[in-house]
Amino acid sequence: MNILVTGVAGFIGSHITEKLLQEGHEVFGIDNLNDYYSPQLKHARLQRLQRYENGQIENFDIVDTKALKAAFQRFRPDLVLHLAAQVGVRYSIENPAVYGQSNLVGFLNILECCRAMQVDRLVYASSSSVYGGNPDLPYSEKQSVDHPVSLYAATKKANELMAHSYTHLYGLQTIGLRFFTVYGPWGRPDMAVWLFSQAILQNKPIQIYNHGDMARDFTYIDDIVAGIHAALFRGGLDPYEIFNLGNHQREKLMHLVGCIEEAMGRKAEKELMPMQAGDMKETYADIENARAKLGFEPQTELGVGIRRFVSWLLANPQFHGF
């Protein structure tokens, strides 16, 4: 099949794209290679994909309507996987305009191109951040998500609403995936697993927010890839779907630190900090809907996934210091 992937140089995008290429699909990847974090890491991810002959990659921004339309018309995708976005809850507090362009205008451009080219299915990244300060755990897709605590979360909720309107008005099948704290090799250097591991490696203190009273549903990249793959190809899905993709495990932040310490064989110097604006105290995914409709069943316990990530980081000193 012809599959167009946005955000192909990203953490999740590069992993799922490699799987699709290995399966023999024709993949057209798009990325703007922005400098939110090191473009060097993004280029390194792309180098791993360029060994496959059935893939094409272009560098432009999805906000560029003309370039995006031209790419759709040339490639004529059967399926679209939209992972490009301006990420980061805390970054959105200082740089709100960037999120309006990438996450709202960019997503509208994707929807319009999918409609015009009569794409069979659009799978797109939402986020666990849409649950905001909801006190009811675990988070279910049936719960209200009308009170985001960051602009980033608000844009992701807006994406779900925009997708619903295109499904209703134009019959475009849209599948939204609420990812829960994804980690693993080739991950994002702005996220806790990488930040903590690197700080311990460099004998620097790690900053632990809300004095450690936080929890996350950490989900290993291989499990996320399996969920995305099912969302792309599984039959019998409704025209409009939203799925939680998480590990269904509520892990205390201090437990994460302990797993990293064990994997690295050294102790962390901990600097306890107050809660940050826009942060969620905890996340925990109810995955019954994804189990039932996607056959989604995460396989990777946190300690196992952390050991894999740490092994990768230690084997790649060129990425230390990002």
Taking 80 as the threshold, does the pLDDT of residue 90 lie above it?
no
Q: Which amino acid is at 243?
A: F
Q: Average the pLDDT over each of 43-57, 63-77, 161-175, 273-287 and give the range with the smallest value.
A: 273-287
For residue 170, what pLDDT is reported? 99
Largest Cα span, the chain: 56
For residue 320, what pLDDT is reported? 87
pLDDT in tens, 170-212: 999 999 999 999 999 999 999 999 999 999 999 999 999 999 9
Q: What is the DSSP letter of 235?
A: S
Measured at the alpha carbon of residue 52, what is the angle toward residues 51 and 57, in degrees to the nearest 5?
Answer: 90
For residue 93, what pLDDT is reported? 81
Question: Considering the chain, what percentage of its residues have pLDDT values greater than 70?
Answer: 100
Taking the C-alpha atoms of residue 193 and residue 82, their distance in angstroms, rounded to an integer, is 24
Taking 90 as the threshold, does the pLDDT of residue 322 lie above it?
no
For residue 146, what pLDDT is reported? 93
Taking 80 as the threshold, does the pLDDT of residue 57 lie above it?
yes
Provide the annotated active-site residues.
152
Taking the C-alpha atoms of residue 222 and residue 297, their distance in angstroms, rounded to an integer, is 11
Query: 46 falls in which pLDDT band (50, 70, 90)?
Result: very high
Across the beta sheet with 55-59, the strand order is 55-59, 26-31, 2-6, 79-82, 121-127, 174-179, 240-245
Read off the pTM. 0.97
Taking the C-alpha atoms of residue 120 and residue 235, their distance in angstroms, rounded to an integer, is 12
pLDDT in tens, 242-289: 999 999 999 999 999 999 999 999 999 999 999 888 788 999 999 999
Burial bucket for residue 307 (CB in 10 Å: 0-12, 13-18, 19+): middle
Taking 80 as the threshold, does the pLDDT of residue 321 lie above it?
no
Taking the C-alpha atoms of residue 299 and residue 235, their distance in angstroms, rounded to an integer, is 22
pLDDT in tens, 121-173: 999 999 999 999 899 999 999 999 999 999 999 999 999 999 999 999 999 99
C-alpha distances in Å from residue 201, one per residue of 48, 271, 304: 26, 16, 19
